Amino acid sequence: MSSAETQQMPHDLEAEVREQALERLKKRRDLGAHLVSYLIINAALWGVWALTGAGYAWPVWVTGGWAIGLALNAWDVYGRRPITETDIRREMDRLRVSADARRS
């Protein structure tokens, strides 16, 4: 979006778009922090495992479970479609139809 287009946007719409952009940036930053935590803590767990005899590979449970959470976090950040005004209107229409059916 060019600066000329931004200047022509109504103030409310510009504020809404800015809020959505800020939310997406925060989610991306949080995912990065989540990934760094995952790598550091799992490296430490595997290090403890290796230094204590490398018997049963118990860190695999933490690594695997946390990987599932990390994958879901990544899906939320990059794969999930934001809710649009069309989605909201469609859901409101469904609720109205459902309410009308119950009244009949």
Q: How far apart are CA 2 and CA 49, in angstroms?
A: 54
CA angle 53, 56, 61 (to 5 degrees): 125
Which residues, in sequence order, are CB contacts of 63 under 8 Å at separation 6+?
Answer: 42, 45, 46
Full-model pTM? 0.69
Stronger pLDDT, 15 or 3, i.e. the higher one: 15
Run of H or E residues at 87: helix 85-103
Q: What pLDDT is recorded for position 38?
A: 98
* In contact, 49 and 57? CB cutoff 8 Å: yes
18-70 pLDDT per residue, tens: 888 899 999 999 999 999 999 999 999 999 999 999 999 999 999 999 999 99
